[in-house]
Amino acid sequence: MTTQTVFLFASLLLSLKLFDYTMANTSDLIITKHFKRRHHNIQIDELIFNGIPVVPKLSGGEHGGHLIHWRLSAVWRNPQSDSTGSVTYDTVIYPDSVIKIEVISRPYDVSNAAKARFHIAPLQKIAMTDLVTFIEQHGLHRYKYDGKGSGCLHWCTTSIQKLEEEKLISEGSRATFERDHVAVLRENTTWWVPDDHGTFGSERKD
């Protein structure tokens, strides 16, 4: 296959929008290369903040429990095809503890490994890309984990609070999340849920 043929074939694929690209005009602190184009404007049916045991296992706390990592899954459902999927919005930590947000299309709603699932119905129509914009506008992509290397839970609770303040979800959602999910999981000594914090406003230098 000649170089010209390869170029023409690639151009055809691009014209047919078979490739998924990184979103334009998005901060370098938000990774969208695995955010499929066909999911960009799909409406969110449910927000699920979920806690998943980290792999490989990392133990800590008073009882040596398995560390839980928290992230947001924005779920879509198609009743006509009986299909479900999600886009996850996740904090990815680097050696200096400053994060990037990774946005990934998933073929399921929430991982089967999740030990906590907080379901929230949006009060307004929100598309997947709207949530990316929301993260940028509220500075949720500029964040540094605390000195212990934890901070995903604080990022999630702050995100819930911001969604509440913008009246995109029900008032009291953060309190419900902390009482009925975080506190309950902490009572189970199998799991380690640190009282973690972080600093918003931090930015990666690379």
In a domain, 206, yes or no: no
DSSP category for residue 110: S
Number of domains in the chain: 1
In a domain, 4, yes or no: no
Beta strand 83-93 with 99-106 is antiparallel
Q: What is the pLDDT of residues 110-129, one digit of tens each?
A: 999 999 999 999 999 999 99
The pLDDT value given to residue 19:
38
| The pLDDT of residue 4 | 44
Is there a domain that residue 8 lies in? Answer: no
Assess if residue 11 is contained within a domain: no
140-179 tens-digit pLDDT: 999 999 877 679 999 999 999 999 999 999 999 999 999 9
CB half-sphere exposure, 93, CA atoms < 13 A? 19
Give the model confidence (pLDDT) of 127-137 as tens digits: 999 999 999 99
The dihedral region occupied by 172, where left means phi > 0, alpha psi between -120 and 50, and beta the remainder, is: left
Residue 77 domain flag = yes
**DSSP summary character for residue 92:** E
Quote the CA–CA distance of 176 and 181 in Å, as a whole number: 8
Contact 65, 189 (CB under 8 A): yes
By the 10 Å C-beta count (0-12 exposed, 13-18 middle, 19+ buried), 14 is classed as exposed
pTM of structure: 0.86
- For residue 9, is pLDDT > 80? no
Residue 199 scores a pLDDT above 90: yes
Evaluate whether residue 81 is within a structural domain. Answer: yes
Asked if residue 9 is part of any domain, the answer here is no
Percent of the chain, pLDDT > 90? 74
Q: Could you tell me which residues are beta bridge partners of residue 205?
A: none
Domain that holds residue 84: 18-200
